[in-house]
Amino acid sequence: MSGRHTGGGQRRFAKELVTFGLKVLFWGAIAIGALWLFQKVPSLGAGEESASTSTLQSSQAVAPDSTVAPTTTTEQALPPSEVTVLVLNSTNTSGLAGRLTDEIAGLGYDTLEADNYATPLADSVLWYAAGYDDEAEELARVLPDMDIQPNPEAPLANLVVVLGASYTE
């Protein structure tokens, strides 16, 4: 009878078995290492945030005169292209909402057509739909003197900016 493991082939079979086992261990270690790397490096996978990101967020979360310990946020604001913004004008200045809409669109936000707000407001307001408070904070960084509040009305957009008399271009 002839075959691969006949006639003194037990030693050869053992050698092939050990070689196969070493290959399995090698490729298993590579696979486990790759999975670990994807979990630890955020740009490669959906792993944890790096310590520098958490530190940066915690330092931004504290008010200048606050005595409360810094807090970290684990959620990140959506990119501007995924946030819809509506700008409304409650002042007598013609075209104000349109000009700000163009400015916001230039930042990458998805904007709706500017319109007027029926009730004149003294102060400008940035209303946010439920779950868009982080995005409102991001937009408020480029819009000075905005009073940020949850949207009391049925939201037409994720963020609604109502320009009041306090707004200056």
Residue 11: predicted pLDDT: 80
Where in the sequence of the chain do the CATH 3.30.70.2390 domains occur? 80-163
Residue 123: predicted pLDDT: 94
Query: Is the separation of the CB atoms in 147 and 119 below 8 Å?
Result: no
Residue with tokens 């990119």: 79
**Tens digit of each residue's pLDDT, the chain (169 residues):** 455 555 567 788 778 888 888 888 888 778 787 766 666 655 444 444 433 333 333 333 333 444 444 444 456 888 999 999 999 999 999 999 999 999 999 999 999 999 999 999 999 999 999 889 999 999 999 997 899 999 877 678 999 999 999 888 8
Distances in whole angstroms, Cα of residue 57 to Cα of each of 5, 30, 53, 79: 65, 34, 6, 16
Number of neighbouring beta carbons within 10 Å of residue 77: 16
Whether the model pTM is above 0.75: no
Residue 114: predicted pLDDT: 94
CATH dotted code for 80-163:
3.30.70.2390
Q: Helix/strand/coil (H, E, C) string of the chain?
A: CCCCCCCCCHHHHHHHHHHHHHHHHHHHHHHHHHHHHHHHCCCCCCCCCCHHHHHHHHHHCCCCCCCCCCCCCCCCCCCHHHCEEEEEECCCCCCHHHHHHHHHHHCCCEECCCEECCCCCCCCEEEECCCCHHHHHHHHCCCCCCEEEECCCCCCCCEEEEECCCCCC
